[in-house]
Amino acid sequence: MHTANFHPLDVEAIRQDFPIFAGEQPLAFLDSAASAQTPQPVVAAMDTYYDTYRSNIHRGVYRISEEATAQYERAREKVAKLINAPNARQIVFTRNTTEAINLVAYSWGSATIGKDDEIVLTVMEHHSNLVPWQILAQRTGATLRFVEITDEGLLNFAHLRELLTEKTKLVAVTHVSNVLGTVNPLQSIIDAAHAVGAKVVVDAAQSVPHFRVDVQQLNCDFLAFSGHKMCGPTGIGVLYGKLPLLEEMPPFLGGGSMIRTVERDVSTYADVPAKFEAGTPSIAEAIGLGHAADYITQAGLEAIHVHTQQLLQHAHHRLKETQGITLYGPEPHQKAGVLSFNVAGIHPHDIAGILDMHGIAIRAGHHCAQPLMQKLDVIATARASFYLYNTLEDVERLYDGLRKAQKLMHRRSHSR
């Protein structure tokens, strides 16, 4: 893991870039898997756009519009570099992961999937990598198949192999589970899918922010992620696709910017990626995303991974030694970024509410993964997630907060 130019994170210096941590009430922000905080350089880049060259792109023949266009396209190049895409044209800006996956389901899916075809998913998918495929299956008559997980919360690879047949046209899989934290063996999944001629869509919402994802090495067909989970703003996401696939696919949304010529009854379409970016895009947000890619690259994705693993390990051991706490998912070395748990006798929403009174932000609920909740036989879980600005002190505060919640609920149940 450690290479010659590895530099551990300077977490104190990083925290200076996040004004939210300088507030009067110290904030232990343990919900970055839902949406990460945004560092000052990213906000500053968006402010500079608004303050000095605010204009629409790809149209204006004047200086500030050309500047906006150049910055928007530079952001595309930065994102391409982040995931090692061979060509920046393979980066389509969307609103988020959800829209990127819907783009594939509507455009590629409608053109490719028929009633005898099968789409293989896993039971750990986020709704955004499930519902678009359900809608496609309902529209086309295709069948959805689900790979089960093992008791430890790992993908059951033998089951995946059983499900893969010549009927499989697509495997849509998350790289990292947003509930269990499980890091799936993506390379093997992609190789196995390709061996039966299926394409692969990767939901990389929880992986791109945390470690290096190389689309050329993986050889995935599509990969989707969101800006707001990797220190970027909301309202911007990414679809990466192999160029021949993107070129063959019909448009997703029609309108301005995505056309070459328009007549009354018929139009021709622009080249990729403009073909998939109808209307005025999120310009400031794309520029912000480019700077977020710079930010996490400069901090070092390897260093981010090592740091968040330390926090995850520490939290795992702290919570594991606490009576009444159930942890979900595999051992820490098999997961990334998130730790889901339940505390006996306390609803996850109450846990989150009590922790909030102590300045600790975690998430509670079904985490947009209801089939996984059913599989785990729970209604909801509490989830702490870790990122580059978190500290061991944040983990200790989580632990102390949970102990306080347990004592409070214990007192309440005895005073009834």
Q: Which residues bind ligand PMP (CB under 6 A)?
A: 34, 96-98, 126, 128-129, 174, 178, 203, 205-206, 226, 237, 368
The least CB distance from residue 361 to ligand PMP, in Å, is 15
- Would you say 15 or 227 has its CB closer to ligand PMP? 227
**Contact between 273 and 238 (Cβ < 8 Å):** no
**Contact between 237 and 96 (Cβ < 8 Å):** yes
The least CB distance from residue 404 to ligand PMP, in Å, is 28
**Does 273 sit behind a cis peptide bond, omega within 30 degrees of 0 on the bond before it?**
yes
The least CB distance from residue 20 to ligand PMP, in Å, is 20
d(CA 275, CA 268): 10
The least CB distance from residue 266 to ligand PMP, in Å, is 33
- Would you say 38 or 406 has its CB closer to ligand PMP? 38
Residue of 11, 34, 43, 368 with catalytic role: 368
d(CA 133, CA 126): 12
d(CA 253, CA 264): 18
Question: Is 368 noted as a catalytic residue in this protein?
Answer: yes
- Would you say 173 or 301 has its CB closer to ligand PMP? 173
Nearest of 242, 245, 203 to residue 226 by alpha carbon: 203
Q: Which residue has the tokens 């899916």?
A: 109
- Order of strands across the sheet that contains 168-174: 91-94, 237-241, 222-226, 199-203, 168-174, 118-122, 143-147
**Contact between 39 and 232 (Cβ < 8 Å):** no
Q: Which residue has the tokens 């448009």?
A: 251
The least CB distance from residue 75 to ligand PMP, in Å, is 17
**Contact between 307 and 11 (Cβ < 8 Å):** yes
- Would you say 58 or 348 has its CB closer to ligand PMP? 348
Q: Which residue has the tokens 């998350």?
A: 174
- Coil, strand or helix at 199: strand
- Would you say 153 or 405 has its CB closer to ligand PMP? 153
Which of the residues are catalytic? 368
